[in-house]
Structure formats: structure tokens, C-alpha cells
Amino acid sequence: MCSLCGILLRSHWAEEGTGRRERNFRVRLVNQVLAHYGLELGDWGGRTYVLRDRKGKSAVVADLGALWAEAERLAERPLDPLDPALVASLRRG
């Protein structure tokens, strides 16, 4: 529910129709990616997320669609899934 206009908004397409277990799994998986950039995502009440860096800066993000732009802002660099260094880091686990 959008608190401003009172209208039920569609979930983000990548999070539609999934439960708490999937949400927790998604957070763990996103954190595998974010670890490469020194960032960490936490679930906030099952509705939104909190993104943090190692220096204590944080940002609230609504969904996966909003996550990456905010992560780029906190990391102060582009986050490219095609970056070979990230790909190698994911392979190493």
C-alpha cells in the first residue's frame, strides 16, 4: 500500500507472489553480490529493505528495482553484473 495515495501498488516484478522464505533467500543472495562492493542488505519488517555500507551509511529501499541505484550511490561506483571481477567473486562464493 502506498501510504501517500492509499492505492495498492503492484509488487516489483522480481518479488511478485513470493513468501517470507523466498524473501529471506533473496536477501542472502543479494548479499553475495553486495559483499563484493562492501555493502549489506537487511530486511526491514518484511516490507522494505535497509542497505548499509561499512562506514555506517544506510538507505531504505522499497524493492529490487530501487536497490541497485541506491547501492551505486552508497558504493560510489557503478555496479555492473557483467564485471568479470564480480562474476569471479560469485563463483568463489
Partner 1 sequence: MAERLPVVLVTGFLGSGKTTLLSRLLARPELGEAAVIVNELGEVAIDHHLLRRVDERTVVLSSGCVCCTLRGDLADELRDLLSRRTRGEIPPFRRVLVETTGLADPAPILNTLLVEPVVQHHFEPGAVVATVDGVNGLGQLDRQPETLKQIVVADRLVVTKADVAARGAVVRLEERLRTLNPAAELLEVSFGEVDPGVLLAPGDRDPRGIELGESDGHGGEIRAFVLFLARPVDWSAFGIWLTMLLQSRGADVLRVKGLLDVGAAGPVLLNGVQHVVHPPEHLDAWPDEDRRTRIVFIVRGIEEAELEESLAAFDAAARLVG
Residues that bind partner 1 (CB under 8 A): 2, 5, 7-10, 12-18, 22, 25-26, 28-30, 32-33, 64-65, 67-69, 72, 78-82, 86-88, 90-91, 93
Burial of 39 (0-12, 13-18, 19+ CB in 10 A): buried
At its nearest, how many Å lie between partner 1 and the CB of residue 59? 15
At its nearest, how many Å lie between partner 1 and the CB of residue 65? 6
Which lies closer to partner 1 via its Cβ, residue 16 or residue 56?
Answer: 16
Which lies closer to partner 1 via its Cβ, residue 8 or residue 45?
Answer: 8
At its nearest, how many Å lie between partner 1 and the CB of residue 31? 9
